[in-house]
Structures are given as C-alpha cells and as structure tokens.
Structure 1
Amino acid sequence: MATLTTISPITSKPIIETPATTFEQLTSDILPKSVAAQKQWFKNTTLADRKKVIAKFVELITAEPTISELAKGITEQMGRPIRYTPGELTTAALRANTLLGFADDALAPVNAGESGPNNKTINFEGQFKKYLSHDPLGVVLIIFPWNYPYLCLINALVPALLVGNSVLIKPSPQTPKVAHAVVKYLKEAGLPDGVVQEIHSGDNELIEKLIQRKEIAAVAFTGSVAGGLAVQKAASNRTIPIALELGGNDAAYVRADSDVKFAAENIVDGAIFNSGQSCCAIERVYVDASIYDEFVEAVVAEVKGYKVGDPFGKDTQIGPVVSEKSAQAIRAQIAEAVSKGAKALIPEGFFAEAEKTNPTFVGPQVLVDLAPDSAVLQEETFGPVIPIVKVNSDEEAIKLINNSDFGLTASVWTKDLAKGEELGDEIEAGTVFVNRADYPDPSLAWTGYKNSGRAVSLSKFGFDFYGKLKSHHIKRV
C-alpha cells in the first residue's frame, strides 16, 4: 500500500508514514458509508442534538492532557513554536462556540407569510402557510491546509455538521495527525460512525476524480490560488457549490497620526507570526513619509528582538518554515527584491545561530527602497518578510493597496478612527481592520475579494454555503 511521508520542518527528516487512501476504498467503502450516515444524521437528530456533539467535541480537545498533546502534534508536524500551538486549539474552540451560538438563528425556518420574516411563529395566515427551511447538501468534502490545520478545518466542519451534512476531511500530508484527532474526538463526543471520515492523499488526480463523483455534494477548499483553481476546474462539469478560501498579499497603511510604537509592534507580529505562514499575514506596509524613518527604525528594533530557534524552546517566537522548498522560495523573493535595488535591513547572519541548524529556518527580514514590481509586493510570500514603502497621502496608499490581485484583508493604523473607517470603505478586501490585523473574528464574515477566494465562513452567514433552502407553500382548501 502506498504511503504519504511527512517530513519534519525542524530536522528535514521523515517523522510520519500515513497510508494513502485508494480510489477503491473511496468507491467501495468511504463514499457509500458517508452517504448512508448523512441521511441518518439529518433524519435522526435535531439541531440541538447536533450542537451537543460539537460542544462535547470542543470540551474534549481543550481539556488536559489532550490540548497539550494536540499542541505538541502541531509543532512537530508544521513547526510553529510550542508556546503558541495550544492557542490554536483554544481559538478553534472559540470559533466553534461562536458558531454554535449563531446556529439556532441561522438555521431557523423563515416565515414567508404576510406577517413577514420577523414573525417567528409559522402558521396559516388566511388561506396560506408559507415558509423556508434549511436542508443539508449531502456529503461535503473539506480540503484543509497545514498552516492552521485545526482553525481552517473548524471554519467549515462545524457549520457543515450542524446543517446536517456528512463530511470527508482531507488534510495536508504535512499534518495528517490533525484528521486522526478530529475523527477520534468527534466519535468520543457521540458523533455516529461514518458522519466524518478522513482521507489521505497527495495524488491530485485522485482528488479530481473524487470531486467528480456524484456522491460529493460540495467542496470547501482552503489553500493556495493554484490549488483552488484546480478544485474549481475539477468540478467544472458539475453544478455543486465550491467554497474557496485562498491566499492574500495583505497590506497595512500607517498614517501620519498613528501611534508609531504600537503600529510597529503589531504590524511585525501580524507579518511574521507563524513565520509569516498565514493567508492574512501582513505582506506589504505603506507608511506616511512624515513618520517613515521613525517607523522603519521601530520595526527593525522590534524584529531584532525576536527569538528564532527550536520551536520546542519555551522562549522561541519564530520556528522553521514548513519545508526546504518553502524556505528557498522565500529567500528567492528577498534576493530578487535586493537585485532590483531594495535594501535588507536585518544584517546577514543576525539569526545565524538558528539558520545554521537546518535549511528550513529563515530569519525575519525587513526590506525598504523596493521596486514596485518586486515579487514581495506583488505575490504571496508566505514567509517572515516585511516590505515597507513610503507614501505621501491617503490617496496614494489606497491606490497601492488596491493595486493587487488579492483582497483578503487590509489594515489602517491611525488615531482618527472615523478616518480609518472611511478609508476602509475604499479598500477592496473582505476584511478591513483599524489598528488591528491578522485576526479572523468568528462573529464576522471571513471572505475574500479577487483571487483571495469566494464564499463565506464564520459569522451567522457561515452556514449558508452548507445548506440549501426549501420553500414550503401550503394552501388550505
């Protein structure tokens, strides 16, 4: 049987061997089981029943010693420092609990009678009773990445299950243990067998064939633009819904009236946390000319204070990037920018102690004097790189922010909150922050503009993708 090998980002050595799911397993066992389980899951449970399962699951994964074991697994598989990985589980719990809180309202029948949707009691009004209900789609395929595996999965898994779907979860081969853990603890929480199953594959052709199977009713994909387009293409001859949460090249704008120290500290964190491996990491910084030098100096000082090293070290803030290939791509973008005239402000060798331990360790870098066509300004870097560009006005900043193929998030840093909101209205992005960044709030819709994707997760509207409306029109005779 073919296996998938997970390479440690810390040592570049193999650490996990996972049996690859075969097409025969999918067609003869997994898909039939999923179809049958979905029908029973929706038919035999109420929304309240389904909420209890999710609530118990959240309780299980955040209790000791489980949370520490799962956090250690994240660090081992993708390299984020151990001081931060328990936070992924607690944040996943926050998201799940927020969605649980929205579920009753989001999935309640909607009165369509003359008294209007605000009338929650659905009865005959005169000769007619009219209302809308929410039905599940069927079997949902969730493809999720390695960089925030629990968070990205929870965004889709919780609403999919609450609506009444069954789910196939396909993790990145980098983080297979996440799928094992989720299936295990959902079962312990009372989820019936077959409602959530895991599949493991690095074979794009197999995933394409799976998407084309009639049993698959929808696909929720989180990952790269290229991966999202491949999923979209695979489903092009079908009418199923496709949700795409893709990459970003997110910008920050620091206005002249900002608190420079506060902005510098938070922008550095938003740019290099998780080694910059976040779809909503800050990847471009535009700074008003009047505070540019002060801001750059503050950023450099902040970056130099970071501890880069062994992710199991209790003081480590930056660990390795996920692979040697990723490290090479990040270094290539830095080199390309420098070749076009950019200055790298963190001296070569400043983080040498960490970088010499393994090629996957990439120290954070700050770039200035960049050519406008530099890859670090135009493409997603997915690494700890902070390009800073001087601007002379709000108008110039907004024009540069919007001059991008991406539109996931953007942030404005200012003491004038009204002006910050006003500028946010002009920014072409799914989320606009004022004096904050890199935080998908579960009470708000998470969505992308342009190449950053389509569909919505989180918030009350995060349920819409996973169900279909049924109209009921009853006449009394």
Structure 2
Amino acid sequence: MASSKPVLTTISPITQKPIHTRDELTSDQIPALVEASKAAFAKFKASHDLAARQELVAKALDLLESQADDLARDLTEQMGRPIQYCAGEIKTAVRRGRYMLKVSSDVLKDTPGDEEAGFTRYIRKEALGTILVIFAWNYPYLILVNSLVPALLAGNTLILKPSPQTPTIPETFLHVLEQVGLPKNVVQVAHCGSPDTLATLIATPGINSVTFTGSVAGGLATQQAAAKRVIPVGLELGGNDPAYIRPDVDIKWAAGEIVDGAVFNSGQSCCSIERVYVHQDVYDKFVDAVVEVVNGYKLGDPFSGSSHLGPVISLKSAQNIRAHIEEALRSGAKSLTPDVFKEGEALGETFVRPEILVDVNHSMRVMKEETFGPVIPIQKVTSDEEAISLMNDSDLGLTASIWTRDIATGEKLSESVEAGTVFVNRADYPSPDLAWTGWKNSGRGQTLSKFGFDQFVRLKNFHLKQAPTS
C-alpha cells in the first residue's frame, strides 16, 4: 500500500481541536519548488521595473486593508487573540508596507561615486533572487510584511514558510497579490513542519537568502543549515525585554502602560515587557497600581468582543509559562494577581491568567529567560545604575524601556542599555521608520526602515572610463 502524503494539522488554541490541515512539503518536492521560483525571477526581472513593482504592492496593500475586518476571525481562530484586536494587526501591517513603499524609490536608486573627469562610477542595488521567509505565528501579518514588501519591491521572488499554527496568512497574502496581477510563482507558499526538510530547503542551491523569525533555537538551526553556503541569513529571535520605572513617573499612567506592554496578546510578543524594575521610592505605589489595573482585565472567550486576553497558543506553551511561575514561587516570589480570572481559567488549560510576581530576583527563570506569556515580575531597585545593570543582565537584547518625566535623563540612560531599540515612555512598538534589530542572541540583520532593504539586495559597482578618441 502506498504511503499517504504527510499532513500538517493546526490545533485550535481555544478548543484544542483540529481546525486546518495542509499537505506538508517533502524533500522530493524541493527541486521543483526552487526551480519554479528561479524561472519566475528571470521573467519578473525582465517584465517589472521598480515602478511596476511599486504599483503591484500598492494595490495589494489597498486590497488587504479592505479585507481586514473579514480576515480578523482567521487570526483569532488560529492563534487565540481576542477578535477586537486582530483587524488592527492587519491594518498596522498595511501601514508598515506603505512606509516601505514610500521610501523604496530613494532606497533602491543608484548611488553615484565621486565626480572625476573621464569617469562615471555608481553603485546599483540588485535583487538577490529567491528569498526564503520563515516566520512565526504570534504576529503573522506584521512579521510577513517586514520581509515580503521590501524583498518584492527590490525585485526578488519569495518562498513563504509559515508556522503550521497560522497556515492561512501567507495564502491570503498570495491570493491578494495574484488578484492585483502578480505573475505566477513570484511568491509561493511552502507548508513545512519537518526540521530536516526545512534544513534541506535552506541548503538547496537557488535559495539566495533566508530570513527567520522565531525562537533562538530555531534561529541557530536555520543558521546551521545555511552554514555551508554563502548566503545572507537574517535572524529576528527572542527577547527578554526589561522596563525601568524611575521615581519621577506618573505611577497610575505608567502602571497601565506596563500592564498593556506585558500582557497584550497574552504576552506572546518578542518585544513584550518580560521584567520590570521599579525604584524603591515608588515601588509599593507602583505595585498597588499594577494590581488595580490587572483587576480590570478579563480573561475569556476571544470571540466574545469583551475579553482582554484569550488563550496562549498551545498546551506546551501554557505548561512552560506555569513552570516559570511555579519555580519563582518555590524560590520565594509572591503572586499578587487579583482573584478575578477563575471564570476564564475554567475555559481550558491554555487560558493562562495574567500573573503579577513580586519578591523576584535574577536567580529565577522568570527574570532570566523569555517566558512568552502574561507574566509581570516586578523587582525593586535602589538607583538608576542598579536598574541599568539588571536590564543588561541578559543574553537577549531586543528592546527595553525607561519610564520617566525627565526625557533628557531617560535618553542619557538609554545610551547604556544593551538593546536594539530603547523606548522612553513607550514599549512594544516597532516603528516602521526605525530599524528593527536585535542585539546579543536576539538576532542579526534588520527589518523595517530604509535599512530593511539591505538583506534583500546585493551591490553591483559600475566603473566606466572614457576611451581615448584619437
């Protein structure tokens, strides 16, 4: 009897029941997939100049935005975020795409060399070819647009490998692009759950660049798979992002912002606030204010329209989050979470309540590792210097935030923080005009901003000398 095709199954984080299946990419399908992309690249390069590519992207973004409210349900179903927040992700992705569209003409234009009589010199940015985009489930539209839009504008073809948890998102984007006239195979979707198959795809000649968004372990595996090839590998990995509350801050306002930055999307953001340091002069007042804010949150059915938090992505994730919490409690931490989440927790094991932990320290995993859940550990500090030292005591460095009325001091302290982005009085917000980049084990390379095109182009120099006429 012939063996059946391998199938990927998406399990609902809400009900724990299957909701989607997709045929899985197999190793023997990889050559045809890559060859189709290579052939499409040659035709796309010949038929679509930058202006034509810009027109395609602009139309696709308009169409995607018009469907945002209808597409929100898919996001809630596949990753559990409350439905009232999901259209916002799609609309934010469109705004990011439009920013990159706006700067693309300037970014991708030729750069002239110095003037010299008898010579013409310039640098051109040319497409690489086929880009493999491997992206996570937690903000799939936002993560995808970070690579897809600049790579497409630069003239590349793409193979999109989504998380098995959110299989419909690249399919939706591909359908939108095809509706506005994108040629066949310029963008393809490959559903792949096998690490070995993915490693084979990365190692295949014809894949000219890889971008990966996900865990540190996944990023290292991607890097290892590409190790025998000379291709760019962009990595956007985890975060253990700290916040520091200075004594001059408006306590009630800061508490609301910190809770939102820590537990929005059930804390499942690479740049969510994972640990909070509070100056001893305002520590007790701040903790009380955080408890009051959390008391107003609702954990519940993400389709209800009234829940602030839904389930986390999986049983495995819920177990990991609770293990971090339980270890901290055994080590002397104390939970101050108000007793208002029992109804939500009764919906299932993946419905993890927001947890406020005090009496924490850096011997605990909840402070040293990425928990990736709705947990707010709060540690008292005695000075700015102690706060900065603790903020930097991590092997991850994606973002960090400082909360103060004194902007000048906040900016000065930011210079000592080891992170790709440092906010003052804000958190959990990748701005499209700034480079999204990680320090330490949080990654390498960058997306967004004018620098977000760099990993999708190569430089070609033209050096022209006037020949003698006699």
Interval containing the TM-score (normalised by the shorter chain): over 0.9
The structure 1 residue matched to 2:56, chosen from 44, 53, 58, is 53
Letter in 2 for 1:20: E
RMSD: 0.8
Q: 1:371 Cα shift?
A: 3.2
Tell me if structure 1 keeps the 8 A contact 2:361–2:379: no
Q: Deviations over 1:296-345 (max 9, x none)?
A: 00001101110110000111110000001100100010000000000010
Q: 1:147 Cα shift?
A: 0.2
* TM-score, structure 2 as length reference: 0.98
Tell me if structure 2 keeps the 8 A contact 1:414–1:435: yes
Is 2:433 aligned against 1:443?
yes
Letter in 1 for 2:245: V
The structure 1 residue matched to 2:117, chosen from 113, 126, 129, is 126
Which structure 2 residues correspond to residues 447-458 of structure 1 after superposition, within 5 A?
447-458=437-448
- Give the whole-Å Cα distance in 2 for the aligned partners of 1:423 and 1:191: 47
SS in 1 for 2:25: coil
Tell me if structure 1 keeps the 8 A contact 2:119–2:466: yes
Q: Give the equivalent residue in structure 1 for 2:94.
A: 93
Tell me if structure 2 keeps the 8 A contact 1:212–1:238: yes
Letter in 2 for 1:371: N
- Give the whole-Å Cα distance in 1 for the aligned partners of 2:36 and 2:70: 30
- Give the whole-Å Cα distance in 2 for the aligned partners of 1:416 and 1:38: 52
- Give the whole-Å Cα distance in 2 for the aligned partners of 1:211 and 1:17: 24
User: Number of residues paired by the alignment?
Assistant: 463
Letter in 1 for 2:413: L
Letter in 2 for 1:82: I
Q: Deviations over 1:342-400 (max 9, x none)?
A: 001015x5311111111110000000001321001000000000000000100000000
Q: Give the equivalent residue in structure 2 for 1:69.
A: 70
Letter in 2 for 1:434: V
Mean CA deviation greater in 161-170 or 349-358: 349-358
Q: Give the equivalent residue in structure 2 for 1:429.
A: 419
Tell me if structure 2 keeps the 8 A contact 1:340–1:371: no
Is 2:31 aligned against 1:41?
no
Query: Cα–Cα, structure 1 residues 131 and 315, in superposed 2: closer, same or farther, change >3 Å?
Result: same
SS in 1 for 2:84: coil
* TM-score, structure 1 as length reference: 0.96
Tell me if structure 2 keeps the 8 A contact 1:286–1:389: yes
Q: Give the equivalent residue in structure 1 for 2:140.
A: 149
Identity %: 54
Q: Give the equivalent residue in structure 2 for 1:21.
A: 25
- Give the whole-Å Cα distance in 1 for the aligned partners of 2:30 and 2:204: 10
- Give the whole-Å Cα distance in 2 for the aligned partners of 1:102 and 1:241: 22
- Give the whole-Å Cα distance in 1 for the aligned partners of 2:394 and 2:68: 39
- Give the whole-Å Cα distance in 2 for the aligned partners of 1:416 and 1:403: 24
Q: Give the equivalent residue in structure 2 for 1:160.
A: 151
Which structure 2 residues correspond to residues 406-421 of structure 1 after superposition, within 5 A?
406-421=396-411
Structure 2: runs of 5 or more not aligned: none
Q: 1:22 Cα shift?
A: 1.8
Letter in 1 for 2:334: K
Tell me if structure 1 keeps the 8 A contact 2:25–2:197: no
- Give the whole-Å Cα distance in 2 for the aligned partners of 1:333 and 1:283: 12
Q: 1:167 Cα shift?
A: 0.2
The structure 2 residue matched to 1:286, chosen from 271, 274, 277, is 277
- Give the whole-Å Cα distance in 2 for the aligned partners of 1:408 and 1:42: 35
- Give the whole-Å Cα distance in 2 for the aligned partners of 1:94 and 1:405: 32
Q: 1:259 Cα shift?
A: 1.0
Q: Deviations over 1:44-89 (max 9, x none)?
A: 21111101111111111111xx222211100000000000000001
Q: 1:41 Cα shift?
A: 1.3
Q: Give the equivalent residue in structure 2 for 1:383.
A: 373
The structure 2 residue matched to 1:197, chosen from 188, 193, 197, is 188
Is 2:389 aligned against 1:399?
yes
Q: Deviations over 1:19-58 (max 9, x none)?
A: 1122222213x21110011112122211111011111111
Tell me if structure 1 keeps the 8 A contact 2:397–2:441: yes
Q: Deviations over 1:216-268 (max 9, x none)?
A: 00100000000000000001111111000000000000001011111110010
Structure 1: runs of 5 or more not aligned: 115-124
Q: 1:111 Cα shift?
A: 0.4
